[in-house]
Amino acid sequence: MLRLTELRLPLDHSEPALRAAAVARLGIADADLLDLQIFRRGYDARRKNAIQLVYTLDLALRNEATVLRRHQGDRHVGAAPDTTYRPVGHAPAGFARRPLVIGAGPCGLLATLLLAQMGFRPIILERGKVVRERTKDTWGFWRRSELHPESNVQFGEGGAGTFSDGKLYSQISDPEHHGRKVLEEFVKAGAPEEILYVSKPHIGTFRLVTMVEHMRRTIESLGGEYRFGSRVTDLLIDTAPDGARQVRGAALADGTVLESDHVVLAVGHSARDTFEMLERRGVYVEAKPFSIGVRIEHPQRMVNECRFGPAAGNKLLGAADYRLVHHCRNGRTVYSFCMCPGGRVVAAASEPGRLVTNGMSQYQRDERNANSAIVVGITPEQDFPGGPLAGIALQRQLEEAAFRAGGGNYHAPAQTVGDFLAGRPSTALGEVMPSYMPGVTPAALEDFLPDEAVAAIREALPAFDRQLRGFARGDGVMTGVETRTSSPVRVKRGEDRQSLNTRGLFPAGEGAGYAGGILSAAVDGIKTAEAVARSLLGASVPARAA
């Protein structure tokens, strides 16, 4: 196969035009092109009146070697890489050392799937419920303010990514095509095949639910075992003969003890009690930077027109997104995060008396508002000194203040952009109707955000308006508080992916501080499963890049 990149065609090109363009670009006869597959399709919208689709194609040719020689030195023509995933090994028959995986989010799910595919019969422990029961509890919270601390946006089968836009793209380097393996597994589980080739793939909440169920059935068919309602309250750790700390299993809230010398820690960024347990048990944990802010909403139609001009509404382009960054005079950086086109702002609390926002979209992205988090980066040194868990304490403080500002009933405090920029509390809202459920209370963001964050966001909004006209419109709605952008801690690991000071413990994914989003967490789960397999099978198995 030959790979051809950066092939550009007009947005409204016909289907035969793609083949014709590939033939012309390579200078071959049409009969010499035996097969054409789209590996990636993106778009270039810098010129709104002449938006182009940008293709990467894998082509089967009659005289491939001749064509490659003729285009030697052309960086857009080369041999297609082999993206086939190959596991690092397989458990021998009767292998009895079953690994434990704590957490059934994207990281834990893919780690468990890969370990099951390699024959290790893993046990996955999830503190929450199966995904459909969890969905009922979550919608009950949104509609009736009835919070279930173990079954909500943060906890339960599928992890926090289940109630999101379902974005499947990231900035991670992936030379060994682990990301491709993730996407292929998702397609097997029911995701649309387009996620394999569109430049910004997404799935949406409802499709994620059915995919998670399908993957559970696959894992169980391969000998894996799920245990729901299984909150881990302690790790069993002893001293090995060589003097090293060695994990020996996990204790659950119901008193059950499971023995294992290989434990994957794939908890999400909201597993605060787990982080507290890790610190008590002497596992090396450190504070890490994260970001805080609010959700902002605008009409999706406005965003589409700003980004795509006359092509707004084109089905191939879909609902437009954006990515904005501003470096402030006070040294802070403000940026958009987790942008959800055609979606809604959702209640994402996991602890009583605390309020958290997040965003989600369905696959169609067809609701009236666009939303994203507008957040300010904060650091342990500058903003929350005092130990590994100081970031958690700050998150709780902000969430409690937002809860009070919203009225103490899980309604979120909201302020219009115009009122925020003018420094006055909102008493009413405008044309942009907030999507947050259970509801919003007009308020002032200053009631719960730190002064430095307020000043930074006030400076950033007009700058964002210069990049995306209408961003600082007076009736845009800002809802808070957004605190769960990433984990406030990192459970440090070495090159072998094991804890720095506790052998057999494999911290992984977003909660451990090594991922941000569904795809990067899933890839980290696969790489961690490979590390577990190498450890279980012995040093004869070659290591891959970490």
Percentage of the chain beyond pLDDT 70 is 98
- Per-residue pLDDT of 92-120, as tens digits, reads 998 999 999 999 999 999 999 999 999 99
Distance CA 108, CA 511 (A): 11
Contact between residue 269 and residue 103 where contact means Cβ atoms under 8 Å apart: no
Tell me which amino acid residue 287 is: A
> pLDDT band at residue 459, thresholds of 50, 70 and 90?
very high
Question: Is there a shared CATH topology between the 2-79 domain and the 100-286+489-537 domain?
Answer: no
Q: Which tokens go with 361? A: 């979209």
The b-or-e profile of 5-16 (16+ CB within 10 A means b, else e) is eebeeebeeeee
| Cα separation, 452 vs 136, whole angstroms | 38
Confidence class for position 539, pLDDT limits 50, 70, 90 = very low
Mean pLDDT, residues 416-439: 96
Write down how long the chain is: 546
* 303: confidence class by pLDDT, cuts 50, 70, 90: very high
- pLDDT for 268: 94
Grade residue 540 by pLDDT with cuts at 50, 70 and 90: very low
For the whole model, what pTM was predicted?
0.94
| Mean of the per-residue pLDDT values of the chain | 95
Q: In the prediction, which pLDDT does 167 show?
A: 86
Band of the pLDDT at 170, cuts 50, 70, 90?
confident
Name the CATH topology of 100-286+489-537: FAD/NAD(P)-binding domain (3.50.50)
The confidence band for 171, taking pLDDT boundaries of 50, 70 and 90, is low
For residue 541, the model assigns a pLDDT of: 47
Render pLDDT for 252-296 as a digit per residue (tens, 0 to 9): 999 999 999 999 999 999 999 999 999 999 999 999 999 999 999
Under the banding of pLDDT at 50, 70 and 90, the label for residue 166 is confident
* pLDDT band (50, 70, 90) for residue 15: very high
Least confident of 44-48, 443-447, 542-546: 542-546
Residues 394-400: contacts with CB under 8 Å, at least 24 apart: 394/488, 395/292, 395/483, 395/484, 395/488, 396/272, 396/351, 396/354, 398/292, 398/448, 398/449, 398/450, 398/481, 398/483, 399/349, 399/351, 399/354, 399/355, 399/356, 399/481, 399/483, 400/353, 400/354
Count Cβ atoms below 10 Å from residue 430 Cβ, excluding itself. Answer: 15
Span of 355-359, 366-370, 390-394, 538-542 with lowest mean pLDDT? 538-542
pLDDT at 370 over 80: yes
Q: Which of 42-56, 164-178, 189-203, 223-237 is predicted least confidently?
A: 164-178
**Range 346-363 average pLDDT:** 96
For the cut 60, the answer to whether the pLDDT of residue 544 exceeds it is no
- Check whether 545 has a pLDDT greater than 60: no
- Could you say which DSSP state residue 541 is in? S
Residue/partner pairs of 515-518 with CB below 8 Å, 24 or more apart: 515/107, 516/170, 516/486, 517/161, 517/167, 517/170, 518/106, 518/161, 518/164, 518/166, 518/167, 518/168
pLDDT digits (tens, 9 = 90+) for 78-98: 999 999 999 999 999 989 999
DSSP state of 198: B
Q: Is the model more confident about 161 or about 213?
A: 213
User: Are 160 and 126 spatial neighbours (Cβ–Cβ below 8 Å)?
Assistant: no
11-27 average pLDDT score: 97
Quick one: fold of 2-79? Alpha-Beta Plaits (3.30.70)
Q: Using the CB atoms, write b or e for 396-426: b if 16+ within 10 Å.
A: eebbbbbbebbeeebbbbbbbbebbeeeeeb
Confidence (pLDDT) at 316: 94
Domain residues of the chain, as ranges? 2-79, 100-286+489-537, 289-385+394-482
pLDDT, average across residues 358-364: 92
Average confidence (pLDDT) over 58-77: 96
pLDDT over 90 percentage in the chain: 92
308: exposed, middle or buried (Cβ count in 10 Å: 0-12, 13-18, 19+):
buried
